[in-house]
Amino acid sequence: VSGGGATSTGEADSFELFLTNTDITWCYYRDSHRVLGTTHSVLVLQDFEALTPNIMARTIETVRGGGLVVFLMRTVKSLRQLYQMTMDVHSR
């Protein structure tokens, strides 16, 4: 990383190379039924607050044994806060 937070050309090229050589499947939560019956090594779930238990179970079941599930959370600072977080969007 160079000054001012900008990435160097080599890092940008490496990221582009990763994107072009990796088979990435993505979908919106409302379209998560599309992933049923597929198997993946890595799952990244973003916007944890919008997840429902059904969507979470549906998507996590697609990760093969020994795979990786990553939750990207913006606002969680402790495990206690994660435990107390409500997932049911209908109750909000």
- Residue count of the chain, please give it: 92
Residue 41, Ramachandran bin (φ over 0: left; ψ between -120 and 50: alpha; else beta): alpha
Would you place residue 23 in the very low, low, confident or very high pLDDT band (cuts 50, 70, 90)? confident
Compute the distance between CA of residue 3 and CA of residue 50 in angstroms, rounded to an integer.
35
Radius of gyration (Cα) for the chain, nearest Å? 17
Q: What is the pTM of this model?
A: 0.63
- For 4, 26, 82, 83, the CA distances from 40, given in Å and listed in that order, are 36, 11, 25, 27
At 47-85, the pLDDT tens digits run 877 888 888 889 999 999 999 999 887 777 776 776 676
